[in-house]
Structure 1
Amino acid sequence: MKLHPDRLEGVNAVFGHGPGEISVNTTVYRHSVIVPWVGEIIDWQVAGFEQLTADHFARVAALKPELVIFGSGPRIRFPAAALMRPLIERGIGLETMDTGAACRTYNVLAAEGRSVVLAAVLSAGT
């Protein structure tokens, strides 16, 4: 699905997503990514939802956002509370949704100037 976000200068935006890929700014990614509101897109070493660990969320928490939008894949899946501990300990909010909804929500919040991070799980065929 193509998205046409309103963009603030220097803010990352998702321009599209589909099975196994996400387009951020001018680049298409075919692996899980962390998209901070500003700065570089980060390769998130997650092959699929089942491989998530607390260390994956610690990497997201290190960016110090006010909110994390977690795209769990083609359907909504909630990570265990133990995995989210790095976010909880820092008082960082987490919203979980399927990756398509997460992309759209991230764009709205980033366009509002919020310090938001999209953590999107992508795997082949999802």
Structure 2
Amino acid sequence: MRVERERGVGPVITAFSGGGFKVEAGEFIGVYRALRIWPDGSEEWAPPPIETLTIEALGPLLAIEPRPEFLLLGTGATMQRPPPSFVRACEALGIGVEAMDSRAAARAWAVLRGETRWVVGALYPL
């Protein structure tokens, strides 16, 4: 299931559920184990192991317009560093990477989107 919403705050992560995330956007409520989220929508994500993460694994997330300021990378229940090659590839696109555990990334999403910052998120399951 894919959620779309008008520009503004966008989809809101309202809870952690079953090792994943509950997302609300208007009247739609979705529960995702792993999540890609952007200012206009969200969708289920089947991530590769963090140590093999590439920008291609994020699909169209980094190609939204305008280009996001940075990517909130939720690495699961604990903070893990993404591969340096992944970080370099994002930075080559002008997109910073902020890696943190997925709960912290969900909270950061709420704060940053509340400020209408143009960011995207890729959150691994908890």
Aligning the two structures, in what range does the TM-score lie when normalised by the shorter sequence? 0.7 to 0.9
User: Do the aligned residues in 2 keep the contact of 1:34 with 1:60 (CA within 8 Å)?
Assistant: yes
- Counterpart amino acid of 1:23? K
Mapped partners of 1:62, 1:107: distance in 2 = 21
User: Do the aligned residues in 2 keep the contact of 1:61 with 1:86 (CA within 8 Å)?
Assistant: no
Q: Give the secondary-structure state (helix, strand or coil) at the position aligned to 2:36.
A: strand
Structure 2 residue ranges without an equivalent (≥5): 1-6
Residue deviations 1:65-89, cap 9 Å, x none?
A: 1121110000000101112333111
Which residue in the other structure is 1:67 paired with? 70
Residue deviations 1:40-93, cap 9 Å, x none?
A: 313322154345234124643212211211100000001011123331111111
Mapped partners of 2:45, 2:63: distance in 1 = 13
Mapped partners of 1:12, 1:59: distance in 2 = 17
Mapped partners of 1:106, 1:44: distance in 2 = 17
Question: Equivalences for 1:28-107 in 2 at 5 Å?
Answer: 28-30=31-33, 32-38=34-40, 40-57=41-58, 59-63=60-64, 64-107=67-110
> CA 1:111 to 1:82, structure 2 compared with 1: closer, same or farther past 3 Å?
same
Mapped partners of 2:30, 2:117: distance in 1 = 22
User: Do the aligned residues in 1 keep the contact of 2:48 with 2:57 (CA within 8 Å)?
Assistant: no
> CA 1:20 to 1:48, structure 2 compared with 1: closer, same or farther past 3 Å?
farther
How many pairs align? 114
Which residue in the other structure is 1:3 paired with? none
Identical pairs, percent: 28
> CA 1:17 to 1:47, structure 2 compared with 1: closer, same or farther past 3 Å?
farther
Which residue in the other structure is 1:110 paired with? 113
Q: CA RMSD in A?
A: 2.1
* Structure 2 residue 19 is matched with structure 1 residue 17: no
- Counterpart amino acid of 2:63? A
Larger RCO, structures 1/2 (Cα 8 Å, 6+ apart): 1
Between Structure 1 and Structure 2, the one with more strand by share is: 2
Structure 1 residue ranges without an equivalent (≥5): 1-7
TM-score (norm 2): 0.78
User: Do the aligned residues in 2 keep the contact of 1:58 with 1:87 (CA within 8 Å)?
Assistant: no
> Which of structure 1's runs of 4+ aligned residues deviate more than 4 A?
none
